[in-house]
Structure 1
Amino acid sequence: MSDVPQIFSVRDAMAHGRSRFALRHVGLRSPHSGIRSSAPPPGRRDLRARAAEYAPRLRKGQFFSHETALALLGAPVPRPPHVVGLHVSAHRPRREPRVPGIHGHRLQTREPTLWHTPEGWPVEDPVRAWRQSASLWEIDDLVAAADFLLTEMRPVIDADDLRAEIEMMGDTRRHALRRALSLSRHGPRSASETHLRLLLVRNGLPEPEISWILRDVAGRFVAELDLAYPLWKVATEYDGRVHAEDLRQFARDADRWDAIRACGWDHVRILSHHMRGGGRRAVQKVRDALRRAGWSG
């Protein structure tokens, strides 16, 4: 079987001369009807491996959609315990799959605007996939995904693209998409940064600048700050590392923090444990820094 891909459809294998007897090889799994795999079973959170096991079964006009498409294109997804499902769609009159473990969707007639992953799998346009995910995600996760689309996605997506999709196809009953779009911003580099920004604003703190460029008195670049309050010279950054896995990188970061403080700024590092319990410690750390700097809120 060395000349056979790890994951393949029975139909393709037989078309290339394999017999059904050979495809009953003891080393092969059948993750879906009509699919054989010699790869180890993927974990529940290994979306890419799960998608790879289904991709050979995609029929003409079918594509990965909803949260699956966003995740495969690199967008942030809800944190555990949420597990991204495998969503596969088709536009009418084509049919969606009806396969155990697959969320099939038959979408209204519409001109497809498919993207493709590096593996060549067809996926829903990310703007459309973002709207589709509104039925699955909480608003903060929709904001984080929108921030990613506005900041990282290429070709460039802007807020008008998201707004036009909502106007054309509609919003949820609670207007989650419009609310998420009103909270989204260009510039965040991670979902954690977005969640921290939303937490601070909801707790009465001023809205910070995003990806703010700090320069010294001579105009030389010092740092790009995740979240910044220039009026009070307070920089807030999320650091999700449990420990310094890369000592050289940690040393560079420490020098960077010193350079920020040398410019007269208060540098507030938020670690993962500060975000527990609703993020009270994170909010308090930033509030204390702002008050030390003269903020009276």
Structure 2
Amino acid sequence: MTMNTVEHRRSGLMAQTCGRRVETTPVRLLRIQAETLIRCRELQARVASPLIFALSTALKLLCIDVPNGLDHDELVVVADSQKTRRRIVGVRCIYWSYPMRFVHLDGIVCVAPDTTWLMYARRSELESLVLLGDAFMRRDRDQRWMPLRDFRDSCHTIHEQIRKTGRRMPAGTAQLRRALVLMKENTDSVRESELRLMLLSYGLPMPQVNPQLDIKKMPGQANANIRRKLFLDLAYPEYKVAVEYDGKYHAGNWEEDVRRRMILEDAGWVCVNATWSDMRTDSERRAFAASVASRLERQSGRKHAVSGPISLRRLASRLMRRMKRAEDSGGSDVEEARACS
């Protein structure tokens, strides 16, 4: 029997799906790591002396979610002196003469996450530093490198080592202090972190990050004795207002998202969902912040005005002053101020 091999015309939706599959974050990070590892091995095989990979290359090797502002396709290596700087076609070589921590990975050496964060301070925007710091402290244990307290201690240790040598601190040290008060543990994605910073910039209170809710169904509902544990992207538990980011992953989980929202609403919660389009322009960001503020007013009976947007630098300075006052007063106010930041 002769087979007709003529390609049949596809519908518009079928054409859109060809070659487009939504990867989960862990799968995407592992794929990027494997691709980067191959490139690093090929480069190392061409060079006689050992290379130390840095910046975005190191982040990809360590399966860390790289914010768009820091993501570069070129391989990056680091030298500890001007004399050892390399000139390799297609490779960027940076100079770093301060203490470095390393990670060894299948014959490849790269800079550790905390040192990489310090390296970025002099060449990155404050928002990118916060997003990267959040990525080191993901809620997913497989993506998590360290808690915030250990992160602060590690950076402090490196700075103390520099002070003991009598050298000036690296450029961008003040920027790092600002980033530390804006960073949060237990985030799930870069978009969630961007959403949190956006709400703060428009004068809204600091939301909790990925709080776990233990919700019991209301009497009279089916399976009323069943409890559900839910994690919310961002939330104001005292007002029962949740703010969720709907990315590509949610497109294939529509039924679960509807069920989840019904459970929240049955428990008295109000949910505000953000998409990428809500964060594109100043007017769209302000409109979304106003939408969250109106829910907070409705749930609390108190006015929540939208202002700004205030820069992250000013916002960080404000939070640092609040923490300083708490430290000066002593007592448990210090931890409370840290939580608010």
Which of residues 276, 285, 288 is equivalent to 1:272? 276
User: Hey, what does 2:144 align to over in structure 1?
Assistant: 153
User: Hey, what does 2:248 align to over in structure 1?
Assistant: 241
Which of residues 108, 112, 116 is equivalent to 2:104? 116
Query: Larger deviation: 199-208 or 132-141?
Result: 132-141
Contact 1:77 1:84 in 2 (8 A): no
| Aligned-partner SS, 2:278 | helix
> Where in structure 2 are the equivalents of 1:22-101 lying within 5 Å?
50-51=39-40, 53-79=42-68, 83-92=72-81, 95-101=84-90
Note the C-alpha offset of 1:235. Answer: 0.4
* Cα RMSD for the two superposed structures: 3.0
Which of residues 201, 224, 237 is equivalent to 2:231? 224
User: Hey, what does 2:118 align to over in structure 1?
Assistant: 131
Contact 1:61 1:94 in 2 (8 A): no
Q: Separation in 1 of the partners of 2:187 and 2:211?
A: 10
Note the C-alpha offset of 1:269. Answer: 0.8
Instruction: Provide closer, same or farther for how the CA distance between residues 64 and 231 of structure 1 changes in structure 2, counting only shifts above 3 A.
Output: same
Contact 1:257 1:267 in 2 (8 A): yes
Instruction: Provide closer, same or farther for how the CA distance between residues 116 and 48 of structure 1 changes in structure 2, counting only shifts above 3 A.
Output: same
| Aligned-partner SS, 1:293 | helix
Q: Separation in 2 of the partners of 1:173 and 1:240?
A: 32
Give the AA of the match of 1:125: A
Q: How many positions carry a matched residue from both structures?
A: 248
Query: Larger deviation: 175-184 or 85-94?
Result: 85-94
Residue 205 in 1 paired to residue 196 in 2?
no
Note the C-alpha offset of 1:178. Answer: 1.1
| Aligned-partner SS, 2:288 | helix
Instruction: Provide closer, same or farther for how the CA distance between residues 196 and 66 of structure 1 changes in structure 2, counting only shifts above 3 A.
Output: same
Greater helix share, structure number: 2
Give the AA of the match of 1:113: R
Q: Separation in 2 of the partners of 1:94 and 1:49?
A: 28
Give unmatched runs, 5+ long, in structure 1.
1-45
Query: Larger deviation: 90-99 or 70-79?
Result: 90-99
Give the AA of the match of 1:228: A
Note the C-alpha offset of 1:66. Answer: 2.0
Q: Separation in 2 of the partners of 1:181 and 1:81?
A: 18
TM-score normalised by structure 2 residue count: 0.64
Note the C-alpha offset of 1:171. Answer: 4.5
Instruction: Provide closer, same or farther for how the CA distance between residues 277 and 166 of structure 1 changes in structure 2, counting only shifts above 3 A.
Output: farther
Contact 2:136 2:146 in 1 (8 A): no
Note the C-alpha offset of 1:266. Answer: 0.3
> Identity rate of aligned residues, in percent?
29
TM-score normalised by structure 1 residue count: 0.72
User: Hey, what does 1:258 align to over in structure 2?
Assistant: 262
